Amino acid sequence: MSTPNRVLITGAASGIGNACVRLFNDQGYIVLGMDLNSPDDDSLFAGFEQGDVTDGPAIDHVINAFEIPTKGLDALVHCAGMTGHGSATEIDPAFWSKILNVNLTSTFLITRAVIPHMQLNGGGSIVTIGSTFSMIARDSMIGYAVSKAGVAHLTRCLAIDYAKDNIRANCVCPGLIDTPMTSHLNAPGHEDVRQTLINAHPMKRPGTAEEVANAIAFLSSDAASYITGQVIGVDGGFTAGKQVVPEARH
């Protein structure tokens, strides 16, 4: 019998990361998690560490706590992230730095920390999380959109640099997904905004964290052994194109 694969999932206490924890667990992986917060159910983890993915020493601590130098790591799923609104003149430099740090620099820090161990291990898979706004711009979200565009391009760079080491890197780009990150849209008074966002998705519904986790698990598996450097929407068609008014169909 072969040894189960070991996966490190960040943002593991909530939303898409937590759905990955459940799915990878079901698929027999040894699941290691990191998040700012502790998870509701720690029985799903072979190891869990509270920590900040923007903090290099905290990442080093996690690498050592999970004995990655000796036991290796087959897959990284980097889900930790934040969102935030505002155009260039509405946000301040401190917010810009923060969102770039949490979404983009953390991706640089954690991937550069795990890659040497994957190289020694004979390869591995990295899945980063972008957004539909990795691929297209959106109004009033400059920090988020630019950070996620950076994540997509960083992932392509990783794929090219480390293909020689049998390390694959792909970026999953969710559309509107019902998670704690988007739960403010369910608050009274936000119905119109939520519906407008839903309507922008050709499938006319939000996605679930499980639907995103399914794509992440596929990309992390040997079934995706020839897929690397890809930026893949899980977005109900959001990035496929613009819908024109139905009356214009003739």
Residues recognised as catalytic: 144
Question: Which of 20, 62, 76, 80 forms a contact with ligand NAP (CB under 6 A)?
Answer: 80
Residue partners of 226: CB distance under 8 A and separation at least 6: none
**Piece of the chain touching ligand NAP by CB under 6 A; list 52-60, 87-95, 158-166, 240-248:** 52-60
213 binds ligand NAP (CB under 6 A): no
Sheet holding 124-129, edge to edge: 47-50, 30-35, 6-10, 75-78, 124-129, 167-174, 231-234
Q: Write down how long the chain is.
A: 250
How far is residue 215 from each of residues 19, 55, 231, 247, measured CA to CA in Å? 11, 28, 12, 34
156 to 195: interface string for ligand NAP, x by CB under 6 A: ------------------x-xx-xxxx-------------
128 binds ligand NAP (CB under 6 A): no
In the chain, count H helices and then E strands: 9, 9
- Give me 17's structure tokens: 């990361």
102 binds ligand NAP (CB under 6 A): yes
83 binds ligand NAP (CB under 6 A): yes
143 binds ligand NAP (CB under 6 A): no
* Residue ranges in 22-41 that form contacts with ligand NAP under rule CB under 6 A: 35-37
Question: Which of 7, 8, 15, 113 forms a contact with ligand NAP (CB under 6 A)?
Answer: 15
**Piece of the chain touching ligand NAP by CB under 6 A; list 13-21, 61-69, 110-118, 224-232:** 13-21
44 binds ligand NAP (CB under 6 A): no
Cβ-contact 49, 92 below 8 angstroms: no
Q: Which is nearer to ligand NAP, 13 or 152 (CB)?
A: 13
Cβ-contact 78, 128 below 8 angstroms: yes
Binding residues for ligand NAP, total number by CB under 6 A: 27
- Distance between terminal CA atoms of the chain? 60
Cβ-contact 125, 76 below 8 angstroms: yes
Q: Which is nearer to ligand NAP, 165 or 178 (CB)?
A: 178
Q: Which of 182, 186, 155, 16 is nearest to 85 (CA)?
A: 182
Question: Which of 7, 9, 13, 76 forms a contact with ligand NAP (CB under 6 A)?
Answer: 13
Question: Which of 53, 59, 114, 152 forms a contact with ligand NAP (CB under 6 A)?
Answer: 53
Radius of gyration (C-alpha) of the chain in whole angstroms: 18
Which residues of this chain interact with ligand NAP, rule CB under 6 A? Answer: 11, 13-17, 35-37, 52-54, 79-83, 102, 129, 131, 174, 176-177, 179-182
